[in-house]
């Protein structure tokens, strides 16, 4: 069985005279590993992921365990995707959103609670999506990706904008998924985080792959190691280090980052500590760090701007993965000793072992930085010594470099201590039995989608209130036929309030899919499946029928209370009138669904419903009312007469009633509009598949 993602020759189609954003990108992402797709903004990371997921037109193909995505029957069960913010309705609850996705995937509703518990959102399950913070939104996005228990996770810069503690939690979840045999492909623009959390790093620049390396090799060849020093005599130590570099003719760069902090490039912890010891300079910190990217290796310098807080944020999670074992002196020994190459050491060839501990991630979550600080005894290794300037001048001896590995982040306790971190992360339990596809799956999804927000209830309540008031006013004015009075349909209006409300609810059924595409991997790519369309038409029909019946019932009850029983007596032809009324409201709902699906807008769907009586009805009326060349009677009159040859085949009376209904201008126009919109929807769906 294939256990990898294979991207072969991915190339985007350029626009006009522009060059391709991605040009012939090929790589593999193995199961059991976290693969980072690294690149500066504009390097082509998002385009590569979209090409892999077949969300963008281009050349090339991607195999997920040996199959392209369009050949997988249920892609959500194979690939979990998070490409941006969670595309959900802001008024929907967190649990309601997940249960709606469970219905779409054929999963039981309890799966939503299992995933919420795994991502730590149980206490926020009743919160609205629009009120979630950035960190909680990322957790919900990961919950949506993990909901169907996919083998592969594809994420585009999921840690962007998150705090340090949230980043740690997110990367721990990804590593745990990989540790259980899954495949993780994660785009990022931060080279340090790529070296910290990934097992394999693929570097993009200008839409091409410039490096495809293990994380250990990436940290050694693409990152600049440095020695972080804190001392109350930083200026004097900087001069001494520069003089020593000139005397020994070595390329050493000393950078003052503000206050008492130095960053020394091209040297080692041992050399800096010996220099400080020989000249009696007190050192409060001496540790190896992963510095900025080298030339041409990337351009994301944003995480490295803050001179004080950023080093502490970087080094905070570094010593955690392996606090118990003793540090190894060789930076390259650890990556080769691991069966799954996870560490990303700062492989500066110096005798100081801090880079190994600093850049070696582990599937087990690293503890808080404070847990590693009590280990060293020297002032340089212990952050507590930063408050005691009377420390011995002999402290920066070689012991400082040996004690540095277990406390790689002494600056964190001094500036902004990281938030407490949970000891472990837990993935949701696996889905052991995959449900078979059933016709009710999209119906369950559509019912949860429509009932999960208050919009439908508000529209229904407004329609009933307006219809009741309109019926009372029409009865007071008089001169309104009883059927129109019960339907609250003034002669001056093209459609009654119930028909307009049904059309609006139908337009919302598809309009919300494009505005808040919960089923789409990214915003705007709503799947055009026949089952989804059938479910929307079915639920919209039930909603329209309920609205039509409630409208007549409410208006009749109110007219009875106000004017008595003479206005609510059933007419003689009530079956035909009832059928026409229900057909009109249902047709408006269908027109709203289809128009919103074709034009991808709720407003366009409602406009199509209103256009039927205003534009289509006059056109149909002119066509059907004029006499034809073959006979003196108009087409509508002949159609209303029913069948020319009446044979006894049970149900002919229903067919004649249908013909008479279509003979009416509104009925014929509505039928013609629904048929035209259905053909347009089929055409747009076929065109999107051809692309």
- Mean pLDDT, rounded, of the chain: 76
Whether the predicted pLDDT of 398 surpasses 70 = no
Q: What is the pLDDT of residue 659?
A: 47
Q: Are 69 and 79 in contact (CB under 8 A)?
A: yes
Per cent of the chain over pLDDT 70 is 70
Residues 484 and 540 in one domain: yes
Q: What is the pLDDT of residue 347?
A: 38
CA-CA distance, 48 to 521, in Å (whole number)? 14
Confidence of residue 482 (pLDDT cuts 50, 70, 90): confident
Whether the predicted pLDDT of 18 surpasses 90 = no
Residues 491-521 have pLDDT tens digits of 888 889 999 999 999 999 999 998 888 887 6
Residues 661-689 have pLDDT tens digits of 544 556 667 777 888 888 988 888 765 55
Residues 641-653 have pLDDT tens digits of 544 544 444 445 5
Residues 189 and 223 in one domain: no
CA-CA distance, 670 to 605, in Å (whole number)? 14
Whether the predicted pLDDT of 408 surpasses 60 = no
Residues 203 and 227 in one domain: no
Q: What is the pLDDT averaged over residues 442-456?
A: 93
Residues 389 and 485 in one domain: no
80 part of a folded domain: yes
Phi, psi torsion values for 348, nearest 5 degrees: -65, 125
CA-CA distance, 320 to 327, in Å (whole number)? 12
Contacts of 639 (CB under 8 A, 6+ apart): 624, 659, 660, 662, 663
Confidence of residue 627 (pLDDT cuts 50, 70, 90): low
631 part of a folded domain: yes
CA-CA distance, 73 to 106, in Å (whole number)? 13
CA-CA distance, 444 to 462, in Å (whole number)? 26
239 part of a folded domain: yes
Residues 387 and 450 in one domain: no
Whether the predicted pLDDT of 246 surpasses 80 = yes
Residues 650 and 537 in one domain: yes
Q: What is the pLDDT averaged over residues 195-207?
A: 93
Angle (nearest 5°) at CA 408 between 407 and 412: 90
Residues belonging to the chain: 691
Whether the predicted pLDDT of 416 surpasses 80 = no
Domain boundary among 165, 183, 215: 215
Question: 407 lies in which domain range?
Answer: 219-294+312-367+375-414
Residues 207 and 261 in one domain: no
CA-CA distance, 495 to 452, in Å (whole number)? 28
Contacts of 414 (CB under 8 A, 6+ apart): 312, 383, 386
Q: How far apart are the first and last CA of the chain?
A: 30
Lowest mean pLDDT among 13-17, 351-355, 584-588: 351-355
Q: Where are the alpha helices (DSSP H) in 180-233?
A: 191-197, 215-222
Q: Tell me which residue of 515, 443, 540, 445 sits closest to 91, measured CA to CA.
A: 515
DSSP letter at 688 equals H
Residues 167 and 232 in one domain: no
Residues 453 and 543 in one domain: yes
Domain boundary among 215, 248, 275: 215
Number of domains in the chain: 3
Q: What is the pLDDT averaged over residues 443-458?
A: 94
Lowest mean pLDDT among 51-65, 363-377, 581-595: 363-377
Residues 100-145 have pLDDT tens digits of 999 988 899 999 999 999 999 999 999 999 999 989 999 999 999 9
Lowest mean pLDDT among 303-307, 341-345, 550-554: 303-307
Instruction: Supply the pTM of this predicted model.
Output: 0.70
12 part of a folded domain: no
229 part of a folded domain: yes
Lowest mean pLDDT among 415-419, 429-433, 497-501: 415-419
Confidence of residue 222 (pLDDT cuts 50, 70, 90): confident
Q: What is the pLDDT of residue 305?
A: 34
The two three-digit tokens of residue 235, written as one number: 């200026």
Residues 565 and 627 in one domain: yes
Calculated CA dihedral for residues 168, 169, 175, 177, nearest 10 degrees: -170
Q: What is the pLDDT of residue 620?
A: 65
CA-CA distance, 558 to 568, in Å (whole number)? 10
- Give whole-number Cα distances, 87 to 50, 225, 517, in Å: 16, 40, 6
Angle (nearest 5°) at CA 68 between 64 and 74: 80
CA-CA distance, 397 to 393, in Å (whole number)? 9
- Give whole-number Cα distances, 222 to 186, 192, 430, in Å: 19, 10, 38
Q: Are 326 and 302 in contact (CB under 8 A)?
A: no
Domain with residue 84: its CATH number is 3.40.50.300
131 part of a folded domain: yes
Domain boundary among 172, 195, 215: 215
DSSP one-letter string for 89-129:
-TTSBHHHHHHHHHHHHT--THHHHHHHHHHT-GGGTTSBG
Beta partners for residue 59, in sequence order = 11
CA-CA distance, 502 to 412, in Å (whole number)? 60
Residues 479 and 351 in one domain: no
DSSP one-letter string for 529-582:
-HHHHHHHHHHHHHHHHHHHHHHHHHHHHHHHHHH-GGGSPPPTTHHHHHHHHH
Confidence of residue 209 (pLDDT cuts 50, 70, 90): very high
Residues 403 and 320 in one domain: yes
246 part of a folded domain: yes
CA-CA distance, 540 to 441, in Å (whole number)? 16
70 part of a folded domain: no
- Give whole-number Cα distances, 393 to 231, 254, 283, 383, in Å: 11, 21, 8, 16
């Amino acid at each position: 069985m294939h256990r990898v993602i294979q991207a072969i020759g991915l190339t985007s189609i350029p626009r006009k005279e522009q060059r391709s954003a991605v040009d012939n990108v090929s790589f593999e992402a193995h199961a059991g590993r976290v693969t980072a797709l690294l690149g500066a903004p504009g390097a082509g990371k998002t385009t590569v992921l979209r090409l892999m997921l077949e969300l963008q037109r281009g050349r090339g193909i991607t195999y997920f365990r040996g199959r392209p995505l369009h050949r997988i029957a249920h892609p959500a069960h194979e690939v979990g995707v998070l490409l941006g913010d969670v595309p959900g309705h802001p008024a929907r609850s967190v649990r309601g959103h997940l249960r709606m996705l469970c219905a779409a995937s054929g999963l039981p509703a309890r799966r939503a609670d299992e995933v919420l518990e795994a991502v730590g959102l149980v206490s926020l399950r009743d919160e609205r999506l629009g009120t979630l913070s950035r960190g909680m939104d990322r957790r919900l996005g990961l919950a949506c990706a993990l909901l169907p228990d996919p083998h592969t996770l594809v994420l585009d810069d999921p840690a962007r904008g998150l705090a340090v503690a949230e980043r740690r939690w997110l990367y721990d979840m990804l590593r745990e998924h990989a540790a259980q045999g899954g495949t993780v492909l994660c785009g990022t623009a931060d080279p340090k985080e790529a070296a910290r959390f990934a097992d394999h790093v693929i570097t993009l620049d200008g839409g091409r792959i410039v490096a495809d390396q293990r994380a250990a090799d990436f940290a050694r060849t693409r990152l600049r190691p440095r020695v972080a020093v804190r001392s109350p005599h930083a200026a004097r130590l900087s001069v001494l280090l520069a003089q020593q570099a000139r005397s020994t003719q070595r390329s050493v760069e000393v950078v003052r980052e503000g206050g008492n902090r130095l960053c020394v490039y091209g040297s080692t912890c041992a050399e800096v500590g010996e220099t400080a010891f020989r000249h009696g300079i007190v050192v409060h910190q001496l540790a190896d760090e992963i510095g900025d990217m080298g030339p041409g290796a990337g351009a994301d310098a944003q995480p490295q701007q803050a001179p004080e807080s950023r080093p502490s944020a970087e080094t905070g999670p570094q010593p955690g993965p392996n606090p118990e074992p003793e540090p190894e002196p060789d930076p390259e020994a650890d990556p080769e000793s691991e069966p799954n190459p996870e560490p990303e050491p700062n492989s500066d060839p110096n005798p100081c072992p801090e880079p190994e501990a600093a850049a070696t991630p582990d599937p087990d979550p690293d503890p808080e930085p404070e847990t590693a600080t009590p280990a060293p005894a020297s002032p340089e290794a212990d952050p507590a010594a930063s408050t005691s300037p009377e420390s011995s001048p002999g402290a920066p001896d070689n012991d400082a470099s040996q004690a540095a590995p277990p406390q790689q982040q002494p600056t964190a306790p001094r500036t902004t201590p990281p938030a407490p971190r949970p000891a472990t992360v837990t993935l949701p339990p696996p889905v052991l039995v995959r449900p078979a596809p059933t016709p009710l799956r999209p119906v369950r999804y559509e019912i949860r989608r429509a009932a999960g927000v208050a919009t439908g209830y508000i529209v229904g309540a407004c329609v009933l209130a307006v219809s009741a008031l309109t019926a009372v006013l029409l009865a007071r004015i008089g001169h309104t036929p009883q059927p129109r009075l019960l339907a609250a349909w003034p002669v001056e209006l093209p459609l009654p309030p119930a028909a307009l409300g049904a059309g609006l609810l139908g337009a919302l059924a598809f309009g919300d899919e494009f505005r808040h595409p919960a089923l789409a991997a990214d915003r705007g790519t709503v799947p055009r499946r026949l089952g989804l369309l059938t479910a929307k038409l079915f639920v919209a029909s039930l909603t329209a029928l309920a609205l039509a019946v409630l409208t007549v019932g409410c208006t009749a009850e109110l007219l009875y209370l106000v004017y008595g029983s003479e206005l609510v007596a059933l007419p003689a032809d009530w079956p035909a009138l009832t059928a026409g009324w229900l057909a009109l409201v249902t047709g408006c709902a269908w027109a709203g669904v289809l128009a919103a699906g074709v034009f991808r807008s709720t407003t366009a769907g409602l406009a199509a419903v209103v256009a039927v009586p205003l534009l289509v009805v006059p056109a149909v009326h002119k066509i059907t009312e004029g006499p034809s060349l073959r006979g003196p009677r108009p087409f509508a009159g002949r159609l209303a007469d029913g069948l020319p040859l009446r044979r006894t085949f049970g149900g002919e009376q229903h067919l004649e009633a249908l013909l008479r209904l279509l003979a009416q201008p509104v009925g014929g126009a509505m039928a013609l509009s629904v048929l035209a919109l259905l053909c347009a929807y089929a055409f747009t769906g076929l065109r999107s598949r051809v692309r």
